[in-house]
A and B are shown apart, each in its own frame.
Chain A
């Protein structure tokens, strides 16, 4: 299975600032996914990132708030912009492997906004 490295693993940020989360995969993958997991809650898909094209955002998530880059087949970044305490969550990167049905997750970035 693919191995995913996410950085940073955790951060405490001031409201109004931005944080960029990095996701590095040890093999080339077509699709990368960004999820949010609010404290004690389930996972919600933010967007799908395909190399060389604009990310596709889910309802309730917008590019201005969560810009995503996907410069190559092994790397992606998610930026959480103009943060507020409501953005305090775990942000997880996921990739598709073994065809369209297998998904691996990174360990996540635990973000606290104060």
Chain B
């Protein structure tokens, strides 16, 4: 119930195309859904995030679509560029225990390759 399932595992997109990565969760207590971008040799960097009371959030070329009833959310990268080639992780946060502190549960990751 704590899992976040991410697909696809890998994705190849032509430059200028749309990259779409999907995630699904079970635990309705999750209250924060970020996406992270990770380049080789680097730690994950926060890309964009959404709360469950919002159905869509857009920041530049990156959009999160959130479907609360289906317990699914997705990342759309518009006009994909070779510089977007990286591994993308969805995640979900749940407040737990007496510390009331969020912990991130990560999806399995998607390796995106954008071809020039």
A contacts, CB < 8 Å to B: 4, 30-31, 33, 41-45, 48, 50, 56, 92, 94, 96, 100-108, 110
Chain A residues positioned under 8 Å from B46 (CB to CB): 102-104
**Could you list 19 further interchain pairs (A-B, Cβ under 8 angstroms) beyond the known A96-B102, A103-B104?**
A4-B43, A31-B99, A42-B109, A43-B89, A43-B106, A44-B106, A45-B104, A48-B99, A50-B101, A56-B99, A94-B43, A94-B104, A100-B100, A100-B101, A101-B32, A101-B49, A102-B46, A103-B46, A110-B41
Instruction: Name the distance in Å between B36's Cβ and chain A's nearest Cβ.
Output: 8
In Å, the complex CA distance between A92 and B97 comes to 22
A107 and chain B: residue at smallest CB distance: B43
Is B41 touching A107 in the complex (CB atoms < 8 A)? yes
Chain B contact surface mostly:
strand
Measured between beta carbons, the chain A residues less than 8 angstroms from B43 are 4, 92, 94, 105-108
Determine if A96 and B109 form an interchain contact, defined as CB atoms under 8 angstroms apart.
no
Proximity bits, B89-116, A CB within 8 Å = 1, else 0: 1000101010111111111110000000
Contact between chains at B34 and A31 (CB < 8 Å)? no
Whether the pair A45, B103 counts as a contact (CB closer than 8 A) is yes
Give CA–CA (A96, B95) in the complex, Å: 13
From A33, A42, A105, contact of B103 by CB (8 A)? A33
How many contacting A-B pairs (Cβ < 8 A)? 59
Chain A residues positioned under 8 Å from B49 (CB to CB): 101
| Residues on the A chain within 8 Å of B45, using CB | 105
Query: Top 9 A-B pairs ranked by shortest CB distance?
Result: A105-B43, A42-B106, A43-B106, A107-B43, A105-B44, A101-B32, A42-B108, A42-B109, A100-B102
Can you list 22 A-B contacts with CB-CB less than 8 angstroms, sorted by A residue number? Answer: A30-B101, A31-B99, A41-B108, A41-B109, A42-B89, A42-B106, A43-B89, A43-B106, A45-B104, A45-B105, A94-B43, A100-B102, A101-B34, A101-B49, A102-B46, A103-B104, A104-B46, A105-B44, A106-B43, A107-B42, A107-B43, A108-B42
Q: Which of A30, A94, A103 has the most CB of B within 10 A?
A: A103
Closest to B111 in A: A40
In chain B, positions 14-65 with a C-beta closer than 8 Å to chain A are 32, 34, 36, 41-46, 49
